[in-house]
Amino acid sequence: MPPFMKKIIILISIVLVASCSEKERSVSTEQGNFAHSVYFWFNNPDNMVERDVFEASLSNFLDNSKYIQTSHVGVPATTGHRDVVDASYTYSLLLTFKDKDAQDKYQYEAVHKQFIEETKHLWSKIVIYDSENILQ
């Protein structure tokens, strides 16, 4: 893995731990070894009713998952235009899990499936990046 990728993973981990509020984290404060990054592109990104539906369903999901260690829900940051930054998505979701096994179990969790069913009609595109921690 290139050195810049290690720095990015460390930076994301630091931001994740620092930015999650206590309300947002009803789960462990210990960072997991498996990161699950999800990016959502909405059909109607400016529709506030649809955003409220998404956020309510997402909050219920995050509050009731048995496997999520930490979570961070975001929207594109106003960092200015740079060629390497993709700010075209509507929401980002960064979750950490104890390990790959916990992330595998989360995929079949009832609250995860409920979240997908309640919100999938809102997205035009979803992209997921999974990674395992190599610096333990």
Place of tokens 């956020």: 55
Rounded distance between C-alpha atoms, residue 10 and residue 14, angstroms: 6
Supply the DSSP symbol for 121. Answer: G
User: Count of CB atoms within 10 A of residue 95's CB?
Assistant: 24
Report yes or no on 41 lying in a domain: yes
Instruction: Provide the CATH number for the domain around residue 118.
Output: 3.30.70.100
pLDDT of amino acid 79:
84
For residue 53, the enclosing domain spans 3-77+87-132
- At 46-88, the pLDDT tens digits run 999 999 999 999 999 999 999 999 999 999 998 878 888 888 9
Report how many domains make up the chain: 1
Long-range contacts of 45-50 (CB under 8 A, 24+ apart): 45/90, 50/122
pTM (2 decimals)?
A: 0.75
**In the sheet that 68-74 helps form, which strands lie side by side, from edge to edge?**
68-74, 91-97, 34-42, 123-132
Per-residue confidence (pLDDT) for residue 74, from 0 to 100: 95
User: For 77-135, how does the pLDDT look when each residue is reduced to its tens digit (9 = 90+)?
Assistant: 988 788 888 889 999 999 999 999 999 999 999 999 999 999 999 999 999 999 988 87
